[in-house]
Structure formats: C-alpha cells, structure tokens
Homo-oligomer: A and B are copies of this chain.
Amino acid sequence: MSSLKLPQSVPSPAEDAELLHKAFAGWGTDEHLIISILAHRNASQRRLIRHVYAETYGEDLLKSLDKELSSDFESTVLLWTLEPAERDAYLANEATKRFTSSNWVLMEIACTRSSIDLLAIKRVYHSQYKKSLEEDVAYHTSGDFRKLLVPLVSSFRYEGPEVNTMLAKSEAKILHDKISEKAYSDEEVIRILATRSKAQLGATLNQYNDHFGNSINKDLKADSKDDFLKLLRATTKCLTCPEKYFEKLLRQSIRKLGTDESALTRVVTTRTEYDMERIKEEYQRRNTVTLECAIAGDTSGDYEKMLLALIGHGDA
C-alpha cells in the first residue's frame, strides 16, 4: 500500500505549476512550498504538472528544480518527480556505471518490480540511453555476478498464481543439492531464481524449508562475508518478501555511521507509491521504533521534511 497522502481536493496542474514557478522566483527558494505540492501528488498528477509547467514556462520542471535545489534534498525531489519507469531506468543506468554495491540496485529493480513495470523500464532505457539494459548489465559485470544479474534483468516472469507442487519439490531438491556442494552460482540455481514465477518460487522455497530443515537463506549463510552469497540471499528476499528486504536496507542505511543517503532516498522515492505502508509496518516490528522516528533522528532540514512527507507523516 502507498504511503502517499493526497489533499482532499487536488489543485489543477496549472495551479500547481504556477505555485512551483513562484517558489523558484526571487532570491530564495520556497522549499516548503515545493514539498507541500510535489510530495502530495501521485505519479500521473506529477506527470501532468511537468507537462503544463513545460508548456507554460518553456523549461522542464526537473531542470528548474535542479537549478534551485541542492544535495540530498535535491536528489530526493528529482528522483521522486520522475515517472516510476524513468526513475528506475535512471537508477539502473547509474548502477551499471559503478561497481559492487550497484549490483544490489540492479538486482533490486529486477526482482521487486512487476514484469510489466520492468518492461516499461527497459523501454525507457532504450529511448533514453540508446541501448538495452541487458547489454549494459552484461557489459559492466563479470563472473558470478554477471551470471546472476543478466538473467535477472532479462526475465519476463509469468505472474499468475498457479503453482506446480511436484516441480517445487524437485527444484527445492536441486537447490539444496547445489547449495550443499557450495555450487552457489550453478546454472540450475540461477535458472530457478531467474525464470520461475514468484508464486512458484515461493512454493519451492517453502518445500526447501519443509524438507531440509533450514530456510534457504540460512543455508546460504555459509560464509557471511562472501559478497555473492549476500547478493543471492538478497535476491531470494526480494523475490519472495520484498518488504523484508527493504526494511533491512532502510535499517542498515539509517544505522550506518553517517546515514547512507543514496539507499535511503532510493527506497523512499521508489516504494512510496507501492508498498511503503507494508515496509513501515515491518520496520516498526523489527526495530521497535517507527520509520518516521528513525528518519527524523538521522536526517535534518528539507531532506528530512521531504522524506517524512513521502512516507505519510503529517497531513497533505
């Protein structure tokens, strides 16, 4: 469930565009006004505002925001204002340019978006970057990471609820055999994780748990420092219980000595309109404090205000 709070009566896109334009005028910038508008409009409303703004003032709203804002507040507002597919294509493209940690961003986008949403991202990627997401991921990764990430970003998974129990049993056994042999990047492991529907995979991991006494993620903890194993565990989480994955990512990025703003910003801007309520619930269960309190304790200023508005704190 989305954490977004919309006003009872939403102003017209023209009114919003005009107010935003006023917020940029003169010496200072009215950050409060920007938050009060953009953090309380859904994706299609923001698209309309951007459209009207460009028509009226001859400049992309994102460009104006880019000129007026700075640092973490800026990146949050910019990421949020983008359309979901545009935003994910941007995040994925940035990730292909960096190393190690960026593998997580690619896996996260590939595994937690729906097939249709992932496809929309790939289309935007074509038109924005004049190449495919798959080729960039394949080109910029290597070894076991490539073996896992390329099929993950390439798959167009079936999304129906059908489950084949016999298949779940036999593939749970394959997974267990390979993990016992420490053949973590075996092509059968990758095939099962990368191509099966989330429903089927859920059934397979339940069979794993029932028949072999441990959850797959426990068995994948053989070496807690191994980066590939970490990514594999995160993959199974993203595919079967994304809210737990996001809770942990938030927890780690807030607890870090110096918050990891890029992860915090990414999770908040990408999940607000999808499952943020579910993630907040999970966060409170795991950390005793609410996500609101944790964010408020660890961030400040307009960045804090923007994040809190997005996760549904206060009124629209």
23 A-B contacts (beta carbon < 8 Å): A119-B156, A126-B156, A126-B159, A130-B160, A130-B162, A131-B162, A132-B155, A132-B156, A132-B158, A132-B195, A132-B197, A134-B154, A134-B156, A134-B157, A135-B191, A138-B191, A138-B194, A138-B195, A146-B191, A150-B151, A150-B195, A151-B151, A154-B155
Query: How far is the CB of A33 from the nearest CB of chain B, in Å?
Result: 40
B187 in contact with A135 (CB, 8 Å): no
Q: In the bound complex, what is the Cα–Cα distance between A133 and B196 (angstroms)? A: 10
A14 vs B151: C-alpha distance when bound (angstroms)? 46
A139 at interface, CB cutoff 8 A: yes
User: Which A positions have Cβ atoms within 8 angstroms of B?
Assistant: 119, 122, 126, 130-135, 138-139, 146-147, 150-151, 154-160, 162, 187, 191, 194-197
- From known contacts A139-B191, A187-B146, A196-B135, infer whether A154 and B154 are also in contact, taking CB-CB under 8 Å: yes
**Whole-angstrom CA separation of A160 from B131 in the bound complex:** 8
**Copies, count:** 2
B134 touches A197 (CB 8 A): no
Q: Known contacts A138-B191, A146-B187; decide if A132 and B151 are in contact (CB<8 Å).
A: no
